[in-house]
Amino acid sequence: MREVVLDIPLGRIAALRNDGRGPRVLALHGWLDNAASFLPLAPYLRGLDLVALDLPGHGHSVHLPPGADYGFPLALNTLLDVADALGWESFCLLGHSMGAGLASLLAAACPQRVERLAVIEMLGALAEAPERTAARMREAIAHRLRPGRGLRVFPDIETAVRARLQSQRVPGTGLEVPQLRLLVERGLRAVDGGFVWRSDPRLVQPTMIRMTQAQIDDVLRAIECPTLAVFADPAQPYLPDAERRRRVALLPRGRLVVLPGGHHLHMQQPQAVAQAVNAFLGAD
d(CA 174, CA 169): 8
| The residue type at 256 | L
Omega cis (within 30) before 234: yes
User: What are residue 121's DSSP bridge partners?
Assistant: none
The catalytic residue among 37, 61, 90, 97 is 97
Asked if residues 74 and 34 have their Cβ atoms less than 8 Å apart, the reply is no
Q: Tell me, yes or no, if 97 is annotated catalytic.
A: yes
d(CA 247, CA 214): 11
Taking CA 72 as the corner, what is the angle to CA 66 and CA 74, rounded to the nearest 5 degrees?
50
Asked if residues 56 and 75 have their Cβ atoms less than 8 Å apart, the reply is yes
> Which residues are known catalytic residues?
97
